[in-house]
Structure 1
Amino acid sequence: MIKGNSTMIHLSLLLVITAIFIWSVIKPYGYLAWAAEILPAIIGLIIVIATYNKFRLTTLSYIIIAILVIIMFVGGHYTYSRVPLFNWIKDDFDLNRNHYDRLGHLLKGLFAIVIREILLRKTPLTKGPWLITIITSISLAIAALYEIIEWLSLKITKGRKVAKDFLGMQGDIWDAQWDMSLALIGSLLALLTLSKLHNRLLRKKY
Structure 2
Amino acid sequence: MVKNKSTTIHIVLLLLVIAVFIWSVIKPAGYLIWTMEVLPAVVVLIIAIATYNKFRLTTLSYIIIAILSIIMFIGGHYTYSKVPLFNWIKDYFDLNRNHYDRFGHFLKGLFAIVIREIILRKTPLTKGPWLFAITLSISLAIGALYEILEWLASKVSQGGKASTEFLGTQGDIWDAQWDMSLTLVGSILALLIFSKLHNKLLRKKHESK
CA distance in 1, matches of 2:123, 2:191: 18
Cα distance, 1:176 vs. partner? Answer: 0.2
1:202 paired residue number:
202
Relative to the length of structure 1, the TM-score reads: 0.99
Aligned length in residues: 206
CA distance in 1, matches of 2:160, 2:101: 20
CA distance in 1, matches of 2:72, 2:166: 11
2:152 maps to amino acid: L
Cα distance, 1:131 vs. partner? Answer: 0.4
1:171 paired residue number:
171
CA distance in 2, matches of 1:102, 1:155: 22
CA distance in 2, matches of 1:177, 1:190: 20
CA distance in 1, matches of 2:200, 2:139: 23
1:62 maps to amino acid: Y
1:32-181 aligned within 5 A: 32-181=32-181
1:158 maps to amino acid: Q
1:3-18 aligned within 5 A: 3-18=3-18
Once the two structures are superposed, residues 158-185 of structure 1 have per-residue CA deviations (whole angstroms, 9 ceiling, x without a partner) of: 1001000101000000000000000000
State the SS of the aligned residue for 1:57.
coil
CA distance in 2, matches of 1:200, 1:132: 17
2:201 maps to amino acid: L
Cα distance, 1:29 vs. partner? Answer: 0.5
CA distance in 2, matches of 1:26, 1:200: 40
State the SS of the aligned residue for 2:159.
coil
CA distance in 2, matches of 1:124, 1:75: 37
Once the two structures are superposed, residues 16-36 of structure 1 have per-residue CA deviations (whole angstroms, 9 ceiling, x without a partner) of: 000000100010001100000
CA distance in 2, matches of 1:15, 1:204: 25
CA RMSD in angstroms, aligned pairs only: 0.6
Cα distance, 1:192 vs. partner? Answer: 0.3
Listed as ranges, the gaps of 5+ residues in structure 2 are none
CA distance in 2, matches of 1:154, 1:54: 38
State the SS of the aligned residue for 1:205.
helix
Cα distance, 1:3 vs. partner? Answer: 0.5
CA distance in 2, matches of 1:5, 1:92: 42
CA distance in 1, matches of 2:21, 2:111: 20
Cα distance, 1:202 vs. partner? Answer: 0.4
Instruction: Report the identity percentage.
Output: 76
Once superposed, which parts of structure 1, at least 4 consecutive aligned residues long, lie more than 2 Å away? none
1:5 maps to amino acid: K
